[in-house]
Structure formats: structure tokens, C-alpha cells
Amino acid sequence: MNVFARVTAIEYVLPVNSLTNDELAREFPEWNVDKIFNKTGISDRRIIAQDECASDLAFLACEKLLATGTIDRSEIDFIILCTQSPDYFLPATACILQYRLGLSTLCGAFDYNQGCSGFIYGLGLAKGLIETGQAKNILLVTAESYSKFIHPADKSVRTLFGDAAAATLIQASAGGPFLDRFRYGTDGAGAKNLIVPIGGARHPAALNLEPDLYTDDSGNSRTDANLYMNGSAIFEFSMRRVPELFTSLFDDEFTIDQVDLFAFHQANKFMLDSLRRRIKLPSEKFIAEFAHCGNTVSSSIPIALKESLNKGVLVEGKTVVGVGFGVGYSWAGCIIKW
């Protein structure tokens, strides 16, 4: 009997602390509440506590999923963690999470650093592990705390990003394929356009020394230890690569009319509206679930899917196109049959 990988459950958590448009407008008087919302589509971002890490959110998301009773923790035989804010350079945060969750020592575990396309990449990895017989029950965890990289005086990114974690259960099942038509792309020439310049091995952070603070032409202040985003370059990349990726998912055997929902990386309102118009997608099939949490990087697509499940928009039998794109540059797409 053929075995196929299938998504069977999703849960997510957001930090307790929030950053609202009212708070941002008080800090940046040149941006009022309406301007922030109209540009980003975001009203609230959740911000992790100073003494918390992305792994703390990951743990809570996994425990929330396990508490549903969908699966017993003893049955989990692999954990895949997507994060760009790991607890340490080494060991892998997935190993720490395996121990903290009380999973079997026969469980495989690894991290991968992929950002906004990370959820789709993770689905592809899980499909490969399950359909080659290496695993049966996989926890795909996405967890990010970009707020730790953001300078408080940099409104260009502070208005966009929120912290979050999601846990997605992928299991072996008959009657598939349920995850199909994976497409990937990479262009490392764009690495410099969404980056934290220092802190890694190439440019280590100097101990006990604060890097220089500088202000760009738009009045945003940051250091090289903070997140930098070239918004116009990211937008141009997305408008060029995402439609190409999207088109590659379809042919005579699988047409756009067979798709019930489109779940793109939940970047911001301006980006998603522009992509939807460029590709000519109907708004009623296009998921937009980021107003309450902001751009949560690799967790944005599973959050969007879970919210669609909660609202009864996504039900069994539906077909979803998932598309992730961003930091790297990296992009990926696939078909998810629910």
C-alpha cells in the first residue's frame, strides 16, 4: 500500500505582549493609526518577552497541539524546526525541544534556517521523510522572534513583524497524494536585502561593545546588529518571482479552477494586494489572516490555515495552494489537499 504525507492538525501561539498601532503612532507621530493600518493591514503585533526565546513559543505550540489528543507524544518520531532565531549557534534548538517535550530518544530532530518560505520547505521535507518510510508522525514547528533583531527606532520593520510559533502535525496516510507539486527557487544575490549583518561567524558581534547607530534617508535608525530590510527590493523580487512560481504549479492536469483557497506568505496588505491583482486571483479565495499578529515569517502560512479552519473556510476535501517567499531570496510553492 502506498503511503502519503498528510497534514492532520495545526496549532499556533502568540506572545502575551502586544504592539498596537496606537502605541506606534505615539512613538512615531509622523505616522498616524490609519496610515499604519492602510499601509500594512496590521493592527496588532505580538512581541516576545525579553527573557523568552522562539523555542519557548515553539514548546507552547507543540503542547497545544498535543493537548488536542490528535496524537500521543510517544508516537512522534521526527521533529523539524524552522527558525532564524535559534537559542544557540549549537546545539540545534530542535534537540532541546525534543527533550523539553518529553519525546522519544528514537525521534529524529533538526533545525533549518529558511524564513518566509520555511513552511513550504518543511512540508516538502516531511513528505520526503514519510513517503520514503523514514518517519510516520512528524511535528513541523515554525518559530520566530524577529523582534529581538529589530531596533526600536526602525519603523520600517517594526510596523510589520510579529513573533509567533506554529506546530503542524504531518502523518502517514493512505489515499493521497495530499502534499504535491512542490516548486522551489533561490537567488542568493538578494541576501543583502533582508539581513542581520553582524552576529554570525562572518562578522561576529564584539563582546561588550555596542555597534554604531546610524539613520537612513527615511529616518529609520538601526545598527548592524539589527534587522535591515530593503523594502523596495523585496517588493520587486516578489512581484517578479512569485507569479512565475505560481504559474509553474499548473498544467493541463491541474488547473487553477481546481483550487479552493490560496494561502500565500502573510507579508503585509500592500504586498498581498499587489500579488493578488498581478496574478488575478479572486479575493474570496485569497486568505488574509495577519491583522491580529503581523508578519510572522515562517509561521504566517500555518496561522492563516488554522484561522481558516477555525472559521470553517477550510474543511476536509478542499484544495489549497501554498506559496512562501522572502528572505534569502527564497521561494516555494505546493498543493495541499485537506
- Is the pLDDT reported for residue 208 higher than 80? no
Q: Please enumerate in sequence order all residues whose Cβ is within 8 A of that of 336, keeping only pairs 6 or more positions apart, or say none.
A: 7, 123, 178, 179, 263, 305, 319, 320, 321, 322
Q: Tell me if 102 sits within 8 A of 77, measured CB to CB.
A: no
> Using one digit for the tens of pLDDT, what is the confidence trace for 224-280?
999 999 999 999 999 999 999 999 999 999 999 999 999 999 999 999 999 999 999
Q: What is the mean pLDDT of residues 1-18?
A: 95
What CATH number is given for 4-177 in this structure?
A: 3.40.47.10
What CATH superfamily classification does 180-337 receive? Thiolase/Chalcone synthase (3.40.47.10)
Q: What is the mean pLDDT of residues 279-307?
A: 97
Domain ranges within the chain, ordered by starting residue: 4-177, 180-337
Write the DSSP string, 312-336: TSS-TT-EEEEEEEETTTEEEEEEE
Active-site residue set = 116, 265, 295
Q: What are phi and psi of 334, to 5 degrees?
A: -165, 175
| 58: phi then psi, degrees, rounded to nearest 5 | -60, -45
Kindly tell me if the per-residue pLDDT of 207 is higher than 90. Answer: no
Q: Average pLDDT for residues 301-314, to the nearest whole number?
A: 97
pLDDT at 1 exceeding the cut of 80: no
Band of residue 30 on the pLDDT scale cut at 50, 70, 90? confident
**Residue 64 neighbours by CB under 8 Å, 6+ apart:** 11, 12, 13, 167
Question: Can 4-177 and 180-337 be said to share one CATH topology?
Answer: yes
| Global pTM value | 0.96
CA-CA-CA-CA torsion sign (247, 132, 62, 107): negative
Nearest to 297, CA basis, from 147, 183, 171: 147
Q: Mind listing the pLDDT tens digit for each residue in 130-157?
A: 999 999 999 999 999 999 999 999 999 9
